[in-house]
Amino acid sequence: MEDKHQITVTSPLLPDLDEFHALLKEIWESKWITNNGSFHQRLEQALAEYLKVPYVSLFTNGTLPLITALQALRITGEVITTPYSFVATTHSLWWNGIKPVFVDIDPSTGNIDPERIEAAITPKTTAIMPVHVYGKPCDTIRIQEIADKYGLKVIYDAAHAFGVEVNGESILNAGDMSTLSFHATKVYNTIEGGAMVMHDAKTKKHIDYLKNFGFTGETEVVAPGINSKVDEMRSAYGLLNLRQVDDAIEARRKVAVAYRDALRSVEGITFFDDMPGVRHNYSYFPVFVDKEKYGMTRDELYFKMRESNVLGRRYFYPLISEFSTYRGLPSANPENIPNARRMASSVICLPMHHALTNSDVERIIDTIHK
Ligand SMILES: *Cc1c(COP(=O)(O)O)cnc(C)c1O
């Protein structure tokens, strides 16, 4: 019988177990298992170098750096953001008592449309929180122009944008701060984990206090901080994964090339091409289904793929603005966000990870060709 093993949308990048075991042995011998240990410090340093950014602060996931960035910058009132993202983006606002204001996306990228931001600014607006969706860089120059004009902060949810560069510069250097997620499903993972990227030593120090309850010394607490300290095991795991992440991204790139070659001729299926000057990380491969031209709805194709044991994901559907927490907000009105609605109703993210084989990719393409 033909092998029809399940093809999942992602698969975690795992370090070599023997190498990991050797590092665990070191940790056991040192008896230092958390609280800014040596592996934690080494990983922050290694990530700053790899990502080409001045400062990195590790966090236990990708949601807490968003919450902490808003605290650190004392953001209040309203924040302009996108409905086309993972719920953690706006949850971070909600946890800070901030009202999210949804602005529609640019259909050519999936990112917040900078030309619609100004119309959403009110006297209560204090910041913009854009997302580099699928790792595609936002128009950071235009967003900064608007932020400067109105005196707004910019916090990028860069959870998808690990290693993404524009003309050789890290996209993570844009705005006041950027946050990353190192969740198991992401391009680079520390099982659970995340980070904040900042531009100066003073901010780095402040953030390091905030993620450790606000402690600046044995007896001094300077702010109501949170606990988001990363342990030594995850830090060691992260150091090992960093060594193989370039190979993983290259493997993903090959899958993207194969998908594009095979699907370019399929009527009613569209996808993004690489952007000039951008080092992409191929974190996701979204395709968009036009039901008239393709002859099948997005959901019909999605479930047909599942019958063949190919698991895509409808990222991002439903829109954040459709969840009960947010749907009553004026900016969640469907008429305010038509492009986001169209994208959410047509998208399927195809399986995309470093371990997909050629025959997996063929099987996935076949389910769409048929
Ligand atoms: C994954 C993700 C997060 C949250 O990261 P966690 O590490 O799961 O907390 C935030 N924003 C976006 C856009 C994400 O995809």
Chain position carrying tokens 């960093």: 242
Point out the ligand 1 atom lying closest to the alpha carbon of residue 181. Answer: 7
Ligand 1 atom closest to Cα of 131? 13
Distance (Å) from CA 191 to ligand 1 centroid: 13
Find the mean pLDDT for residues 99-110.
Answer: 98
223 vs 17: CA distance, rounded Å: 40
- Domain co-membership, 91 together with 140: yes
Please tell me the number of Cα atoms within 13 Å of 318 on its side-chain side. 10
In the DSSP assignment, the letter for residue 174 is S
Burial call 225-259: b when 16+ CB within 10 Å, e when fewer: bbebbbbbbbbbbbbbbbebbeebbebbeebbebb
**Residue 190 has what pLDDT?**
98
Residues of the domain holding 300: 245-369
Indicate whether 116 and 181 sit together in one domain: yes
Are 226 and 262 members of one domain?
A: no
Section 124-146 average pLDDT: 98
**In sequence order, what are the residues at sequence separation of 6 or more whose Cβ sits closer than 8 angstroms to the Cβ of residue 252?**
187, 281, 282, 283, 352, 353, 354
224 and 260: one domain?
Answer: no
> Considering its fold, how many domains does the chain have in total?
2
| Residue 3 lies inside a defined structural domain of this protein | no
Q: What would the mean pLDDT of 37-49 be, rounded to a whole number?
A: 98
- 36 and 67 assigned to the same domain: yes
Q: Do the domain assignments include residue 35?
A: yes
Residue 36 maps to which CATH number? Answer: 3.40.640.10
Q: CA 163, CA 157: separation in Å to the nearest integer?
A: 14
Question: Could you say which of 241, 265, 296 is where a domain stops?
Answer: 241
**Region 137-166 average pLDDT:** 98
So what's the pLDDT on residue 1? Answer: 46
Please spell the DSSP secondary structure of 155-166, one letter per residue: EEE-TT-TT-EE
Widest CA span in the chain: 67
Residues 261 and 235 in one domain: no
Question: CA-to-CA distance for 200 and 222, rounded, in angstroms?
Answer: 19
Q: Do the domain assignments include residue 207?
A: yes
Residue 192 within any structural domain of the chain: yes
Contact (Cβ atoms closer than 8 angstroms) between residue 62 and residue 89: no
* Cβ–Cβ under 8 Å, residues 352 and 280: no
Of 241, 258, 286, the one marking the end of a domain is: 241
Distance 88 CA to ligand 1 centre (A): 6
Q: Which of 207, 226, 241 is the last residue of a domain?
A: 241
Query: Mean pLDDT over residues 317-336, rounded?
Result: 98
Per the CB < 8 A criterion, the answer to whether 120 and 113 are in contact is: no
Please tell me what DSSP assigns to residue 133.
G
Q: Indicate if 138 and 214 belong to the same structural domain.
A: yes
For residue 261, the domain's CATH number is 3.90.1150.10
Residue 73, token pair as written in the block:
């910058």
In a domain, 9, yes or no: no
Please report which confidence band the pLDDT of residue 4 belongs to, taking 50, 70 and 90 as the band edges: confident
Across 244-254, average pLDDT: 98
User: Under a CB-based contact definition with an 8 Å cutoff, are residues 154 and 128 in contact?
Assistant: yes
CA–CA gap between residue 236 and residue 213 (Å, rounded): 23
Helix or strand (DSSP H, E) at 347: strand 347-350
The whole-model pTM stands at 0.97
Tell me what the mean pLDDT of segment 19-35 comes to: 98
Q: Do both 217 and 277 map to the same domain? A: no
Ligand 1 site, CB within 6 A: 61-63, 85-86, 88-89, 131, 157, 159-160, 181, 183, 194
Task: Please tell me whether residues 147 and 287 are part of one structural domain.
Answer: no
My answer on whether 232 and 273 are in the same domain is no
* Residue 2 is assigned to a structural domain of this protein: no
Separation of CA 66 and ligand 1 centre (Å): 9
In a domain, 12, yes or no: no
Q: What is the pLDDT of residues 50-98, one digit of tens each?
A: 999 999 999 999 999 999 999 999 999 999 999 999 999 999 999 999 9
Choosing from 63, 70, 84 the residue with most ligand 1 atoms within 8 A of its CB, the one to mutate for a pocket test is 63
- Say yes or no: 76 and 175 in one domain: yes
Calpha distance 235→333 (Å, rounded): 43
**6 CB-near residues (< 8 Å, 6+ apart):** 309, 311
Same domain assignment for residues 258 and 231: no
33 Cα–ligand 1 center, Å:
25
pLDDT in tens, 176-211: 999 999 999 999 999 999 999 999 999 999 999 999
Distance CA 368, CA 370 (A): 6
Span from the CA of 162 to the centroid of ligand 1 (angstroms): 12
DSSP 8-state code for residue 54:
S
Mean pLDDT, rounded, for 338-354: 98
Residue 6 included in any domain: no
**Is 351's pLDDT higher than 70?**
yes
Tokens 């910019």 -> residue: 154
Average pLDDT value over all residues in the chain: 97
